[in-house]
Amino acid sequence: MEYTSVFELLTAVLLSAQATDVGVNKATRRLFPVANTPQAILDLGIERLEGYIKTIGLYRSKAKHLMQTCRILVERHGGEVPRTRAELEALPGVGRKTANVVLNVAYGEPTMAVDTHIFRVSNRTGLAPGKTPLAVEMKLLQRVPAKYMNHAHHWLILHGRYVCLARTPRCWECAVAHCCDYQPKTKAP
């Protein structure tokens, strides 16, 4: 995603739920030149904000959450994005995954933001199997060496997007196929 500040990152990730990075970038390329601070978003008002992000799915609820988040940022945090998980998760529309992205990408914290790709790759390969994103996150935090933690979630997302695909994993292109638990299903002759 494209961003130039911690607030822009938070906004983009908040808007990205059930949307593609391409779609979010398309909307934020229009929004951020006009409003890229909590106060500027508040000054837009809900209707104008919706106009900028209407190409993203669930834009009305996302606009509402973003407006509420901006109000809290201005009133309780001096317009700044907080640096703790608890404060981030207290913002409307911000769950654990979004908080982890902000903590990792913006503040360099060793977190693991488990999205659908990381969940699939972790379970399929046996790297960190778990029934919930939180279970996978906890196992990844134990398995991934500290020196790789700040970049690991990006690497796993990319692996899931381009190699370990949901429907037809490209095992023949996979650099870790030799240590993967996945057994490709072969068609019977």
Residue 156 DSSP symbol: H
Tell me how far apart the alpha carbons of residues 175 and 179 are, in angstroms, rounded to a whole number: 9
Enclosing H/E stretch for 10: helix 6-15
Is 115 labeled as catalytic in the residue annotation? yes
Choose the catalytic residue: 26, 64, 97, 185.
97
Tell me how far apart the alpha carbons of residues 10 and 103 are, in angstroms, rounded to a whole number: 10
The token pair that represents 158 in the structure block: 């990319």
Q: How many CB atoms lie within 10 A of CB 13?
A: 23
Choose the catalytic residue: 21, 26, 115, 131.
115
Tell me how far apart the alpha carbons of residues 95 and 40 are, in angstroms, rounded to a whole number: 23
Q: How many CB atoms lie within 10 A of CB 40?
A: 15
The residue to which tokens 């978003």 are assigned: 41
| Catalytic residue set | 97, 115
